[in-house]
Amino acid sequence: MAAKSLLSLSLLLLLLHIAAANPPRPTPKPVAIAVEGMVYCQNCQKIGSWSLTGAKPIAGAKISVICKNHNNQVSFYKVYETNKYGYFYAELVGYKMPHPVLDHPLQACKVKPISSPLPDCDLLTNLNYGIAGAPLRYDKKFVVGPKYRAAVYSAGPLAFHPEKCL
């Protein structure tokens, strides 16, 4: 009987030692995917070019992020708005990557300008291929917080231009 107790106690101490040596690993935070960029009103003298010299940021401009899966079907679509500095941060909540290479945001997603709140600067430009959809770039940027981690891609800058120039 004493041998059984000693064996049980030894086994318990061994399990406690193993547990202490290998603490449970924290559950990894899911990595969110986000896209950031800027939207501008292009200077009249630069219309038709990709220059942003003299351009002004547009607050309240709308852009869309469109992602297509490897079967060319839209798998994600959402409209976002720029802040007062013309900057957008678009977190792709709900975006799925069934195929890790073909459905990766760098291949699958594009950003398009949709509308400008400025009546005197509301015509689309093709700056950074905005009309067809600006491709994403990976700049090795992450946003990390206690309960949040996001891989941040960039797109653009995108622009609108005035219809009438003096």
| Residue ranges per structural domain of the chain | 32-161
pLDDT of residue 8: 59
- Give the residue, 1 or 62, on which the prediction is more confident: 62
pTM, full prediction: 0.78
- Positive or negative, the CA dihedral 34, 47, 49, 55 is negative
For the chain, the straight-line distance linking the first and the last C-alpha, in angstroms and rounded, comes to 102
Q: What tens digit of pLDDT does each residue of 23-64 get?
A: 666 555 566 889 999 999 999 888 888 889 999 999 999 999
What CATH class does 32-161 carry? mainly beta
Query: Most distant CA pair in the chain: distance in Å?
Result: 102
From CA 79, how far away is CA 67, in angstroms rounded? 12
From CA 81, how far away is CA 63, in angstroms rounded? 6
Percent of all residues in the chain with a pLDDT value above 70, rounded to a whole number: 81
State the DSSP code for 116. Answer: -
pLDDT of residue 6: 54
97 — pLDDT class (breaks 50, 70, 90): confident
